[in-house]
Chains A and B, each alone.
Chain A
Amino acid sequence: MSGNVPTIDENSRWAAFRREVGRALGAAIMALIVAFIVVLFTSKTPLDAMMQLLTAPASKPRTIGLWIDDAAKLTVTGLAFSLVFQARQFAMGVQGQVYIGAIATSYVVLGPLGSTWAAIPLGLTAAMLAGAIYGFLPGIAKARLGANEIVSSLMLNYIAIELCNLLMRTDLPKASAGVLTSVDFPKEAVFPPLIPNTRLDLGIGLAIIAVVVVWFALYRTAWGLKLRLVGHNAKFAEYAGIRPTFIMVSAMAASGALGGLLGAMFVQGQTYGKLTVLFEGGIAFEGILVAIVARSRPLAVPIVALAYGYLRQGAQLMNIRTDVPAEVIGVVTAIIILLVSSSFSLNFITRLFRRRDRATSVPAGSVVK
């Protein structure tokens, strides 16, 4: 083929990239407008609240630290969802894997090896292994028995949370009686801070490594190509000699390892340095948003995570400093997911009210059964 082909190639990619960025930004702007309207009606000081939402995270080194720490965690959960989404699985088990991973880490670092140099690598390994097993379960149940992975992974989330509560209350050494918090992890087991007095720690490094590893696995290895082919068309993959069930299960297990890693990042990080009940605060599910906006592309995940982490942190600070509850961010998140995953575009309002030419017969719900 002639030499100018790659440029056409790159042009089309560039156009697609701009389209995606435009769509994501459009959705974010729409969501912020809605958030503003909500704030306008509910706050006594709406402008101040919006200012806090939009500027507070970047205002001080401490808040920047909080923001980057959130972004690192959102990156890992976003990667976990990206992996299963690329294989067209709807496993929703990251939350459970986070808890299981954190429990595994806690047992390792509160054990005899916890105050040696091996505490961090062992803690991470244990968390990833436990998460991988927890991700493997709904995968194998689907591959072998046909059990719907959405329902089973959601159930496993609840079980993991209860398990964490149970072990916290009954088995793990507690700081003091009646508190649902473990004793502080040994110093050696807690990620060293990158910048003193901020929450910036080894977790950021782990998130960056995870991005590179997932990108490499998806786009440079045969496993990744097989995974993407299964995601594009499982029947074709089977015909081409790829075992879809193996890919499906291994994708869910790999995603589980990332979920477990996130668990370790929570409890071994500067933020906690110990296990506590309900430490995850719903961040695991927000990986859905990160993965969708990033179109499940690993290299786009950290960028989306930074942007979304900023909003998330802004909402927290707005909650503290004004009369608007932080949970307004849930509304923003939902709107962004709705707009980005649909055929929404900036001129969609005009299309909205124009009658469709004809009814369509695409079975929208046929993806999962």
Chain B
Amino acid sequence: MTELLITIISTGFFATVIRTTTPLLLATLGGLIADLSGALNVALEGMMLIGCLTAVIVSVYAPWYVAVLSGVGAGALLGLLMAFFAYRLKADIILVGFAINILAAGGTVFALALATGGDKGTSINLQSQAIPPVDLTFLSGIPIIGPTLSAMLTGQSVVTWIAAFLVFAIWYFLYRTPWGLWLRGVGEYPAAPEAAGIPVTKVRTWSLVVSGALAGLGGAQLAMFNYVGFTRDMTGGRGFIALGAVLLGARHPVGATIAALLFGAFDAFAIVLPGLYNWMPSELIRMIPFIVTIVALISFSVRAQRALALRGVQ
């Protein structure tokens, strides 16, 4: 037990948490934007996965930032596709989401096999690149906390810092700009913004595009930093866990960040536990995030029911 505690409060563990949280946080923010616009984006998983593969393949031929942007673009395109079918052709958005997931699960393997010349499991034969870490060793110059800060924050991906900025940017957008008001209005009661002349379908479409872009960025981080290279189904349910994190975070960017950090911490656990307790089966450890999501979902639902009762929304 003591080893566990020592590990958890170590700076190394914090650094791991930040690393495991980043892709999940980006997907969660994507889920949040879609959710507030009135759409449950069940396609985050597929968008992330396609973001992973796009980034990996592009990074073989282009600089890392182009690869990351391609991942973002792929996610955004999928968001546009989803919006087109859900809003223009009036398909059920849940079914559209699952169609995208099925497309991603099969399509990535298909594309990978083509790109590698028949390899269906991993991109190990591709010379893909990583996102460069940010060096913050100068922080150790700060007295007392400096070395700790430096150990925790140095070596994190550029995308991690972008994600941290995005939490603030999305909060500002949602609660401080007119367009955030539009988006939240569209999600809560679309008839009102429509009567006010706000282009409801456009707002919803943009929300899904941004949602997809964020998931794609999460995918790029996953495949170009957390792991370098693509493996089939490498997202491993992160897109679905993100849906749980949106709800657990009370549909607010700060709450979503805290929820994503919680899941990131359990992910990090799964990384450090086998080293500490080798008797513990790895399958059990891999189950942890999913079990936590269910527990979180239930506790959120109970809380939400009570809060709703207090707020007076039936």
Name A's B-contacting residues (CB within 8 A). Answer: 42, 90, 92, 141, 145-148, 150-152, 154-156, 158-159, 162-163, 165-166, 169-170, 282, 285-286, 288-289, 292, 323, 325, 327-331, 333-335, 337-338, 341-344, 348, 352, 359-369
Which chain B residues border A146 with CB–CB below 8 Å? 301-302, 304-305
Having A148-B301, A285-B102, A361-B194, one finds 16 other A-B pairs with CB under 8 Å, namely: A145-B298, A145-B305, A146-B305, A150-B243, A151-B240, A152-B294, A162-B290, A170-B281, A328-B110, A330-B106, A330-B109, A331-B107, A337-B99, A342-B91, A352-B88, A364-B39
B236 smallest CB distance to A (angstroms): 8
Partner of A338, one of B96, B120, B287, B305: B96
Given contact pairs A155-B294, A170-B281, A148 touches B247 in the complex (Cβ within 8 A): yes
Cβ-defined contact, A341 with B106, below 8 A = no
B314 to chain A, nearest CB (A): 12
Q: Which one of A154, A344, A348 has the greatest number of beta carbons of chain B within 10 Å?
A: A154
- List chain A residues, Cβ under 8 A from B191: 361
A-B contact pairs, 9 of them (CB 8 A): A145-B305, A158-B236, A285-B102, A330-B103, A330-B107, A337-B98, A338-B99, A342-B89, A352-B88
- Nearest CB in chain A: distance from B91 CB, A: 3
Question: B293 at interface (Cβ–Cβ under 8 A)?
Answer: yes
Q: Does B199 contact A (CB under 8 A)?
A: yes
Among B39, B92, B236, point to the contact of A341 (Cβ < 8 A): B92
* B237 contacts chain A at the CB level, 8 A cutoff: yes
What distance in Å separates the Cβ of A361 from its nearest Cβ neighbour in chain B?
A: 5
* Chain A residue with Cβ nearest B232: A327
Beta-carbon contact of A158 and B237 below 8 Å: yes
Q: Which B residues are in CB contact (< 8 Å) with A42?
A: 114
A362: chain B residues within 8 A (beta carbon): 90, 190
Q: Which B residues, 267 to 308, have Cβ-Cβ distances below 8 Å to chain A?
A: 281, 283-284, 286-287, 290-291, 293-294, 297-298, 301-302, 304-305
Chain A residues in 8 Å Cβ range of B155 = none
User: Are B281 and A359 in contact, CB atoms less than 8 angstroms apart?
Assistant: no
Q: Are B298 and A330 in contact (CB under 8 A)?
A: no
User: Which residues in B have their C-beta under 8 angstroms from that of A343?
Assistant: 89-91
| A151 pairs with B247, CB closer than 8 A | yes
- B98–A364 contact, CB under 8 A? no
- Report chain B residues within 8 Å CB of A359: 194, 199-201
Inter-subunit contact B92/A159 (CB<8 Å):
no
Interface residues of B in 242-275 (CB under 8 A from A): 243-244, 247
A337 contact set on B, CB distance < 8 A: 95-96, 98-99, 102
Which residues of chain B come closer than 8 Å to A165, judged between CB atoms? 283
Neighbour of B302 across the interface among A145, A285, A365, CB < 8 A:
A145
Q: B302 to chain A: which residues have CB within 8 Å?
A: 145-146
Chain A: minimal CB distance from B32 (Å): 14
- Chain B, Cβ-Cβ closest to A285: B102
Closest Cβ–Cβ distance, residue B244 to chain A (whole Å): 5
- Contacts A154-B237, A166-B281, A342-B85 known; A288 to B298 CB distance under 8 Å? no
- The reply to whether A147 and B94 contact each other, CB–CB distance below 8 Å, is no
What is the bound-complex CA distance between A338 and B99, given in angstroms? 6
B-side contacts of A169, CB under 8 Å: 281, 283
Q: Which 10 A-B pairs have the closest CB atoms?
A: A330-B106, A342-B91, A334-B103, A342-B89, A166-B283, A365-B39, A337-B99, A327-B110, A327-B106, A325-B113
Contact between A348 and B89 (Cβ–Cβ < 8 Å)?
yes
How many residues of chain B are within 8 Å of chain A by beta carbon? 63
Q: Which residues of B contact A (CB under 8 A)?
A: 37-40, 42, 85-96, 98-107, 109-110, 113-114, 118, 120, 187, 190-191, 194, 199-201, 204, 236-237, 240-241, 243-244, 247, 281, 283-284, 286-287, 290-291, 293-294, 297-298, 301-302, 304-305
Chain B residues with CB under 8 Å of A368's CB are: 40, 94
The distance from the CB of A349 to the nearest CB of chain B, in whole angstroms, is 11
The CA-CA distance from A335 to B91 in the complex, in Å, is: 12
A282 in complex: contacting residue of B92, B105, B304, CB < 8 Å: B105
Question: Please, how many angstroms separate the alpha-carbon atoms of A169 and B85 in the complex?
Answer: 43
* Residue numbers in A under 8 Å from B94 (CB-CB): 90, 150, 367-368
CA distance A92 to B43 in the complex (A): 13
Q: How far is the CB of B303 from chain A (nearest CB, A)?
A: 10
One of B38, B247, B284 near A162 (C-beta < 8 A): B284
Contact A145 B201 (CB under 8 A): no
* Partner of B298 from A141, A292, A369 at Cβ < 8 Å: A141
Quick check: A367 and B92 within 8 Å, CB to CB? yes
- The answer to whether A361 touches B291 (Cβ under 8 A) is no
Contacting pair B106 A147 (CB below 8 A): no
Choose one: A147, A331, A365; the contact of B301 (CB below 8 Å).
A147
Task: Quote the shortest CB–CB distance from A71 to chain B (angstroms).
Answer: 18
Also in contact, A366 and B38, with CB within 8 A (given A148-B247, A331-B106):
yes
The minimal Cβ–Cβ distance linking B202 to chain A, given in whole angstroms, is 9
Are A363 and B190 neighbours in the complex by a CB distance under 8 Å? yes
Are A325 and B91 also in contact (CB < 8 A) when A146-B305, A151-B247, A155-B290 are? no
Whether B103 and A159, one on each chain, are in contact in the complex, defined by CB atoms closer than 8 angstroms, is: no
CA–CA, A109 and B286, complex, Å: 28
Of A166, A169, A335, A337, most buried by chain B (CB within 10 Å of CB) is: A337
Q: Please measure, in the bound complex, the distance between the C-alpha atom of A323 and the C-alpha atom of B116, giving whole angstroms.
A: 13
Name which residue of chain B comes closest to A149, CB basis.
B297
A310 vs B275: C-alpha distance in the bound complex, in angstroms? Answer: 47
